Chain A
């Protein structure tokens, strides 16, 4: 069967598992910017947490299917319609052949995940089907989907109709308190970081999110010899601009790495949108471990194959 892209929204890519183990060659992980929402969407169509999904930025997006199929949408808060009728997010939906599925625009948050009971055929590269746009790897021809694209789906089985348990529906918010640990370049007198509020600027992509606000003086030359970076890193430029890295972010960089969003909270970065406010809560390594295990435990029963 086939999926027809009528409108891809601001950006629509195929994302699956992260691409592991090639950062030394400059290859970032890619994968969903909000992996929790992707895992929740996949769960509703009885798919593994990292089965290929469509990641849709902002929308509005619309699709049509050649045959009946079950789908699910999770992530940014948005209206979902099929055949002109409103449907809930976070639930298994039946789509009739020829019906138009409309998602968005995103009211809160930035990205939704469209999971499909059929299997999306996607190009695997270096062990992952995730799209990495700058190098044209993975997904559908290594690129974002365009109006008129037709994607092949393997036959869809009927799956049980489910809805996400209420405690796991973590709706995106216009303001975030992100838990962080000190980055390797955080100055010793870091107390000033506690109370500052930052705002997300329109410079936002799968590579990173710019935030503006008052950053403490970093001293020194404002640059460092290039060193490894991972998603969740906060870099501050000599001009006083902050960049939070997302899954397509560069693997090494020379701007000071002052904070690192902890593993437990990195999925939230995928929902930041322009104007959102961000605060940072500095945690110790021991606290970050507790935070990770607590959130993992919350997700474990419903998403047994998912790891933050």
Chain B
């Protein structure tokens, strides 16, 4: 039953469950939160990695405990996905790379915005910088490469696009993704207990804010 998940060492204090891409990662991560002793639970693109305390648990014991926790995987419910409908501005100052992408794809800017708005995207994982969210589910026809020269400063809330993926910048910082627009809701709010709005597995719909 668990044989389809290969558990491998990620150093002497972490274990990686190679479960493949897709929702199973989010189900697994949510399932494992319910067990004590995993000090970090980090979804990757095709896996979930958990850390344990090597002072109190041997590597082999942690691995056995993890494999036992995976026994019930077939009964795991689909991940609980919060849905965020996020108002956004596209193009202009908020999305400086939209015109170039439109020109390269031979489309109007409106058409690209329409594609971005039409689809329900899924937070595949967070990483790179705090709160940076990789969203999948984008029409693969929107072919886009990273910028040849990354920007030193990308505004918080910026919507990046590379082929097949949208990247949301929670914080201002450097960035190499072409920027299509900006979300008006803060993705990061220091006053919240969990200051990051996005979590792995969440669903996102981008909605064009009505012009002021």
| Chain A residues within CB distance 8 Å of chain B | 20-27, 125-126, 132, 134-135, 137, 181-184, 225-228, 230, 232-233, 250-253, 257, 260, 262-263, 285-286, 288-289, 292-293, 296, 307-308
CB neighbours (8 Å) of B46 from chain A are 225, 227
- Is B47 interfacial (CB 8 A cutoff)? yes
Q: Is the CB of A183 within 8 A of B11?
A: yes
Q: Is the CB of A227 within 8 A of B11?
A: no
Q: Which residue of B is nearest A296, CB measured?
A: B55
Q: A25-B126, A184-B16, A230-B10 are in contact. Are A289 and B54 (CB under 8 A)?
A: yes
Query: Chain B: how many interface residues by the 8 Å CB criterion?
Result: 44
- Is B71 interfacial (CB 8 A cutoff)? no
CB neighbours (8 Å) of A296 from chain B are 55
CB neighbours (8 Å) of B126 from chain A are 24-26
Q: How far is the CA of A298 from the CA of B11 in the complex (A)?
A: 22
Q: Which residue of A is nearest B43, CB measured?
A: A24
CB neighbours (8 Å) of A262 from chain B are 11-12
CB neighbours (8 Å) of A253 from chain B are 127
CB neighbours (8 Å) of A263 from chain B are 11-13, 54
CB neighbours (8 Å) of A24 from chain B are 29, 40-43, 126, 199-200
Measured CB to CB, the closest approach of chain A to B122, in angstroms, equals 15
Which residues between 23 and 43 of chain B lie within 8 Å of chain A, taking CB atoms? 29, 39-43
| Chain B residues within CB distance 8 Å of chain A | 8-14, 16, 21, 29, 39-47, 49, 51, 54-55, 58-60, 125-132, 134, 170-171, 173, 190, 194-196, 199-200
Q: Which residue of A is nearest B13, CB measured?
A: A263
Measured CB to CB, the closest approach of chain A to B160, in angstroms, equals 14
Measured CB to CB, the closest approach of chain A to B202, in angstroms, equals 12
Q: Is the CB of A230 within 8 A of B54?
A: no
Q: How far is the CA of A132 from the CA of B129 in the complex (A)?
A: 11
Measured CB to CB, the closest approach of chain A to B12, in angstroms, equals 4
Measured CB to CB, the closest approach of chain B to A207, in angstroms, equals 11
Q: A292: which of B14, B55, B173 is its contact (CB, 8 Å)?
A: B55
Q: Is the CB of A292 within 8 A of B12?
A: yes
Q: How far is the CA of A243 from the CA of B190 in the complex (A)?
A: 31
CB neighbours (8 Å) of B49 from chain A are 227-228
Q: Is the CB of B9 within 8 A of A182?
A: yes
Q: Is the CB of A25 within 8 A of B196?
A: yes
Q: A225: which of B44, B51, B129 is its contact (CB, 8 Å)?
A: B44
Q: A228: which of B9, B16, B21 is its contact (CB, 8 Å)?
A: B16
CB neighbours (8 Å) of B41 from chain A are 24
Q: Is the CB of A228 within 8 A of B10?
A: yes
Q: Is the CB of B45 within 8 A of A260?
A: no
Measured CB to CB, the closest approach of chain B to A33, in angstroms, equals 18
Show 8 residue pairs from A and B whose CB-CB distance is below 8 angstroms, ordered by the A residue: A27-B130, A135-B173, A182-B9, A228-B47, A230-B10, A230-B11, A262-B11, A308-B55
Q: A21-B39, A226-B45, A292-B54 are in contact. Are A252 and B12 (CB under 8 A)?
A: no
Q: Is the CB of A289 within 8 A of B58?
A: yes
Q: Which residue of A is nearest B58, CB measured?
A: A289
Q: What would 4 more interface pairs be, CB under 8 Å, given A225-B44, A228-B40, A285-B9?
A: A26-B132, A227-B16, A227-B49, A230-B13
CB neighbours (8 Å) of B16 from chain A are 184, 227-228
Q: Which residue of A is nearest B11, CB measured?
A: A260
Q: How far is the CA of A185 from the CA of B43 in the complex (A)?
A: 17
Q: Is the CB of A250 within 8 A of B127?
A: yes
